Structure 1
Amino acid sequence: MDKNAEIALKLQALRDDYAARLPAEIQSLRDLVNKLSDPDLQHGALDQLSQKLHKLAGSAGSFGFADLGKQAKKLELQAQAWLSANQLDMGMLRVFAVAVAALDGQAQNDGAKKIPLVSQSAPLKTNTLIYVLEDDPDVAAEVCMTLRHFGHQVVHFSTVAAAEVEVLRQPPDFMICDIMFTEEGRETPAAVANLQSHLPVPIPVIFVSTRTDFDAYHAAVRAGAVGYFVKPLDIIRLVECFEYYLDRHRSAPHRVLIIDDDLALAEHYKLVLSSADIRAEVSNNPRDIFEVLQDFHPELILLDINMPGCNGIELAQVIRLNQDWLRVPITYLSSEQDEEKRAMAMGRAGDDFLSKPLGDRELITAVSVRAARSRQLSDALDRDSLTGLLKHSRIKDQVDAEVNRAARGGENLSVVMLDLDHFKRVNDTYGHPAGDKVIKAVAHLLRQRLRKTDAVGRYGGEEFVAVLPRCSREEAQALMDDVRQRLRDITFTADQRSFNVTLSAGIAAYRPGVERAEQLLQEADAALYRAKAEGRDRICFGS
């Protein structure tokens, strides 16, 4: 059974279980309403009734009982009004009791409706197909060669007419197009815009041209442009633009922590997010919060406000007292409608507010946007501006975290230190802008060729560190050798001069007894020094 079908079955099982529990839940509401006529039991019963209606209002819609949830919300607001006034209107109580009794019929009506399953994420392609439309053979050769070095499948078309036929037959994942095909007398933006209108999904396009006028840019946008580069081309910058769009699919799933005392609802949220390739964990014990945070490292916390013992607002403040988790955004989840209470919640450690009930698609969209923004802001702080790789301190933290994980689980771990050979000569001969191109190319190669679970950082000027969890030193050697050979085959240009660059690497593998990240880093550094001493353009192992 594939992942999507399994998630669908689990979601249906949760809905069936919720439906099976509803009659008993509604009966408990009736029992509490009956107690309201007894002055001695009235206040406690009303308080319990308000809490139960609040929970029902927040959860029913997520399990397909939308109308039931809306009615429960109306009843909750009435119960809260009586609590605030500390006075019960006995005339209104009879109407209230009838409405509570009618919840059972509302549940049956909702239960008869079929609810659509949340749309599942499409499987990701591992081999990107790129069409290059370029009538200049020299430019085409350079673009195609560079993209192939980065591991992509590339098809070149020297005429627009030939590309049009193939695009309709087999749409690519990406297109790179010159704006003007002189011999054909055609401009590609108009042709591409026409093609896009016949495709089920638009193709992202990068246009290249000697033109810098507004009309050229405008036409490119109308044709679905995600990038525009002026000749002579900076190929590495072009690849960087292209890789930016691929990174959204290659990056590790977003991590979301759901804290809610309603475990059935939290599990529903978890499954819905999983269907969109978002990794979620559920917790309902505030006392375990720091342990959960340390193990999971969430990029977003979804926090229910109304929880027994320690409510969501208090828990958010507890989290903010720990300096390690100041960056993680906290989004409150609640069916609370009172503006003053919502404002108070937002003013106490929270960053955002989502109202229950939350539809599946709304949940996915809201979480995706917030988690992506969280990662983007974190990356801005943690990543090197030139390469987009982790900074020195952050990659060291990553090594430390993986050493601890390997020690607990007895898993493989390899740490690799890479260095560009004779890099000073590149800067001295071709200039620092050319050196920056090389460094960016290495960063692209590392991100593109390594796995989602791997971490890569810029350790120094031309020195990099790769952290490879669950990877033996032999597997690490194969990965790094692939990067080494691909870099060696890339031809760089500067001031109409061409040159190539090589790298050396040292690999250190975790073994029982290693307790600190510094030890593995020193062993990898010693192996790198040995690779340099033995002639460069090679990979050596540590002790």
Structure 2
Amino acid sequence: MDKNADIAARLQALRDDYAARLPAELQQLRKLVDDLTEPDLRAGALAQLNHRLHKLAGSAGSFGFTDLGKQAKKLELQAQEWIAGTPLDMGLLRVFSVAVTALGGDLQAERRNKPMPLVSQTSPQKTNTLIYVLEDDPDIADEVCMTLRHFGHQVEHFATIASAETEVLRRPPDFMICDIMFVEEGREAPEAVMILQQHLPAPVPVIFVSTRTDFEAYHAAVRAGAVGYFVKPLDTIRLVDCFEYYLDRHRSAPHRVLIIDDDLALAEHYKLVLKAAGVHAEISNNPRIIFDLLHEFHPDLVLLDINMPGCNGIELAQVIRLNQDWLRVPITYLSSEQDVEKRAVALGRAGDDFLSKPLSDRELVTAVSTRAARSRQLSDALDRDSLTGLLKHSRIKEQVDIELSRTVRGGGELSVVMLDLDHFKQINDTYGHPAGDKVIKAIAHLLRQRLRKTDAVGRYGGEEFVAVLPRCGRDEAMMLMEDVRQRFRDISFSAGDINFNVSLSAGIAAYRPGIDRAEQLLQEADAALYRAKTEGRNRVCFGR
């Protein structure tokens, strides 16, 4: 059974279980309404009735019972009026009782008329990227193709537009890099690409290269789907920088969302729907363990149900905000509350946004994905090195600590790699700092491209980098870093008319029982790196 079929089956099982529990829940509501006629039982019955109606209003729609959820919401609003002090009129109570008795109607008919929950289809992650290079200058084509292949991409070169057109339609690439002018053919690539885009199942991002700097050339490129435009003579590393920027958006780790809701069945439904959309969600109904969950999971977004017994969502949001470590994590309330004043009070105390129950699956995925993406963009702006886009020194050290804690708790393997560019000061002194920056950016691109989405890599300082590889043993780490070392050694850099190559050295430290501090792994990796340097550089060595 594939992933989406499995998720669909689990969603259907949740829906069936919810439907099986509904008759007993509706019977309990009717009993509570009967208790309202007894003065001694009224206060407790009213509080329970309001809580149960609130849960029903928030969950029924997600499990396919939209009408039931709407009816429950109307009854909840009446119960809230009585709790607020409105006198309980016996005539109105009889009407209320009839409405509660009628709740649900023909549940089977409502289920038959509702489609299965939306399960978003997610594309499998590609191991490499197919790039078409349309360039009639063989020297430029060779340089671009060779550089992209060193970064692990699948590249095909076309010297004419005509030769590319059939292949683009037969096997659309993930990316295109195109010259604008093809003089011998008497054609311009933007016009041809724009026509091709209209016949493709999805637009293909394009980077155009040209000697032209006029407005018309840029305008034509935009119409053809350009995401980048570079003027010759071509700076290949800058072109790769632009290309990698777009790839990183699809290569990044799944967004992480923490859901706290006392209705675990509904929370599990949310979790499965988000999983189908490529979002990693964790759920809990226990506010008391919130800090354990935050430290272990490091979410991009926290979703809090407002109406929870013991500690409601507003109070829990305030608890989170009291801890300085979690001031940046966005908090969104899940609630069927429609009162504008009450929402304003909730946001004034803590929290950043509201999502109104009931949520359709599509609304849930869209709302969560956009908020989590925005959160990660902000974190990246604060936590990442401006030149390379890699994690800064403090953040990569923190990542070592996080992954070590996970490994100690759950078992498994963990490797930490410390990497350094050989003779980098000499490169800066000989070719200048701009050339040195190109080299730094190139190794950053290569590391991001060759490492897994679950790995973390940071710029530790200057020309030194650290990679954190969870669920990766020392032998696997050695194979990975040997691949990186060889690919990097083959990249050709240029400074003016001079071409040069750069090598790297790396040290690997692997977790073993007895290691309980991140500093131990970093020190062992550093010692292994020192050994690689003293043994002649351009090599990868193990620690203890």
Partner of 2:505: 504
Q: Distance in 1 between matches of 2:114 and 2:65?
A: 10
Larger displacement relative to structure 2 (111-120 or 451-460): 111-120
Partner of 1:183: 184
Partner of 2:86: 86
1:114 aligns with 2:123: no
Partner of 2:472: 471
In the TM superposition, residue 160 of structure 1 has moved relative to its aligned partner by: 0.9
Alignment of 1:88-487 (within 5 A): 88-105=88-105, 107-116=107-116, 117-487=118-488
Does the 8 Å contact 1:304/1:334 carry over to 2? yes
In the TM superposition, residue 20 of structure 1 has moved relative to its aligned partner by: 1.2
Q: What's the CA shift string for 1:166-208, capped at 9, x where partnerless?
A: 1111111111111221111212122111111111111111122
In the TM superposition, residue 302 of structure 1 has moved relative to its aligned partner by: 0.5
Does the 8 Å contact 2:303/2:333 carry over to 1? yes
Q: What's the CA shift string for 1:323-344, capped at 9, x where partnerless?
A: 1111211110000011111111
The DSSP-based 3-state class of the residue aligned with 1:540 is strand
The DSSP-based 3-state class of the residue aligned with 1:358 is coil
Q: Which amino acid aligns with 1:60?
A: A
Does the 8 Å contact 1:67/1:106 carry over to 2? no
What is the TM-score when the length of structure 2 is the normalising length?
0.96
Q: Distance in 2 between matches of 1:268 and 1:410?
A: 29
Q: Which amino acid aligns with 2:157?
A: H
Q: What's the CA shift string for 1:488-524, capped at 9, x where partnerless?
A: 1111112222111111112222222223222222222
Partner of 1:514: 515
Structure 2: unaligned runs, 5 residues or longer: none
Distance 1:162-1:24 versus aligned 2 partners, 3 A rule: same
Alignment of 1:56-95 (within 5 A): 56-95=56-95
Partner of 1:17: 17
Does the 8 Å contact 1:68/1:106 carry over to 2? no
In the TM superposition, residue 423 of structure 1 has moved relative to its aligned partner by: 0.8
**Equivalences, count:** 543
The DSSP-based 3-state class of the residue aligned with 2:461 is coil
Larger displacement relative to structure 2 (387-396 or 44-53): 44-53
The DSSP-based 3-state class of the residue aligned with 1:15 is helix
Does the 8 Å contact 2:120/2:273 carry over to 1? no
Does the 8 Å contact 1:59/1:357 carry over to 2? yes
Q: Which amino acid aligns with 1:15?
A: R
Larger displacement relative to structure 2 (423-432 or 397-406): 397-406
What is the TM-score when the length of structure 1 is the normalising length?
0.96
Q: Distance in 2 between matches of 1:119 and 1:515?
A: 40
Partner of 2:527: 526
Does the 8 Å contact 1:528/1:540 carry over to 2? yes
Partner of 1:541: 542
Larger displacement relative to structure 2 (508-517 or 49-58): 508-517
In the TM superposition, residue 410 of structure 1 has moved relative to its aligned partner by: 4.2
Distance 1:95-1:384 versus aligned 2 partners, 3 A rule: same
Structure 1: unaligned runs, 5 residues or longer: none
In the TM superposition, residue 106 of structure 1 has moved relative to its aligned partner by: 5.4
Larger displacement relative to structure 2 (250-259 or 32-41): 32-41
Q: Distance in 2 between matches of 1:170 and 1:200?
A: 11
In the TM superposition, residue 274 of structure 1 has moved relative to its aligned partner by: 0.7
Q: Which amino acid aligns with 2:22?
A: L
Does the 8 Å contact 2:305/2:334 carry over to 1? yes
Larger displacement relative to structure 2 (155-164 or 97-106): 97-106
Q: Distance in 2 between matches of 1:159 and 1:537?
A: 40
Q: Distance in 2 between matches of 1:375 and 1:202?
A: 25
Q: Distance in 2 between matches of 1:534 and 1:120?
A: 50
The DSSP-based 3-state class of the residue aligned with 1:156 is strand
The DSSP-based 3-state class of the residue aligned with 1:171 is coil
Q: Which amino acid aligns with 2:534?
A: A
In the TM superposition, residue 89 of structure 1 has moved relative to its aligned partner by: 3.2
The DSSP-based 3-state class of the residue aligned with 2:240 is helix
Q: Which amino acid aligns with 1:56?
A: L
Partner of 1:34: 34
Larger displacement relative to structure 2 (276-285 or 409-418): 409-418
Runs (4+) of structure 1 exceeding 4 A deviation are none
In the TM superposition, residue 406 of structure 1 has moved relative to its aligned partner by: 3.2
Distance 1:387-1:113 versus aligned 2 partners, 3 A rule: same
Q: Distance in 2 between matches of 1:243 and 1:96?
A: 61
In the TM superposition, residue 45 of structure 1 has moved relative to its aligned partner by: 2.6
The DSSP-based 3-state class of the residue aligned with 1:244 is helix
The DSSP-based 3-state class of the residue aligned with 1:459 is strand
Q: Distance in 1 between matches of 2:110 and 2:241?
A: 50
Does the 8 Å contact 1:121/1:276 carry over to 2? yes
Distance 1:275-1:410 versus aligned 2 partners, 3 A rule: closer
In the TM superposition, residue 266 of structure 1 has moved relative to its aligned partner by: 0.3
Q: Distance in 1 between matches of 2:535 and 2:413?
A: 27
